[in-house]
Amino acid sequence: MKINLDAANASLAITLIFLCGSSSAATISHVTAADLLAVAYPEQAVINADVADFDKQMAGMFDRSATLTAREKAAPGFRKRFLSAVDTVVEQDLQRDLPILRAQCIDVYDNTLTQQEMQDLMTFLRTPTGQKLSRLAILAAAESDAETSQEVMKDRTNMVAANLGPSDGPAVEALMRSSAYPKFKFIGQKISEISSHFFDQENSRIASDLESLAPQFQ
């Protein structure tokens, strides 16, 4: 038995709120914001998911290319070395650029929620359901082939709906009954748009940087 899609969507919106942290002392202290970000959207988990997705794409490219297959046969280990180099570029680029995404989200995050709402959500995020939603949101975003933020949001919602069970229902339903639910939904949608735009640009930057690997593997 799975909980209904509306509940999954509500939970997902809540999870996406924590894509970026707040730095405004008027709303929440910097340390608390950092704690929220670390719990809900750990940077290394984001990087690992995106690196894994690039690996999958590169593996598919190798499998479809007769030239690359022949290269691997002629020089065993070529594929492994190439994928390792790709991983390094992707990870370095994300480490460099993810702070840009965080900065872009701060205003939306900081100007919508009260300190009490942030504290309440922190409590939720420390539950097993909250931790599960965080992992699913990160994985779904990395694996989505969608081209628009709405489609990415749909992919995330579908993955969440497929993986939440009856034990998650009470925590989800309690949050849906919150008077702040409209805020959660708005922030989830807004941050999804911001992150979708960021990763469109980031993928272009990574593709450009990957071109620099070509001379090493000719």
Give the tens place of pLDDT for each residue, 175-211: 788 777 888 788 778 878 888 888 888 888 988 888 8
Residue 218 pLDDT class (50, 70, 90 cuts) = low
| Domain ranges within the chain, ordered by starting residue | 5-217
Count of alpha carbons within 13 Å of 216, Cβ hemisphere only? Answer: 13
pTM value > 0.75: no
Contact 24, 110 (CB under 8 A): yes
How much is the pLDDT for 29? 44
Least confident residue range of 39-53, 54-68, 97-111: 97-111
**pLDDT, mean of residues 140-160:** 71
- What pLDDT is recorded for position 12? 44
Residues whose CB is less than 8 angstroms from the CB of residue 181 and which lie 6 or more positions away in sequence, other chains included: 10, 175
**pLDDT band, very low/low/confident/very high, at 93 (cuts 50, 70, 90):** very high
- Please state which of the ranges 1-10, 33-42, 195-204 shows the lowest mean pLDDT: 1-10
- CB distance 134 to 15 below 8 Å: yes
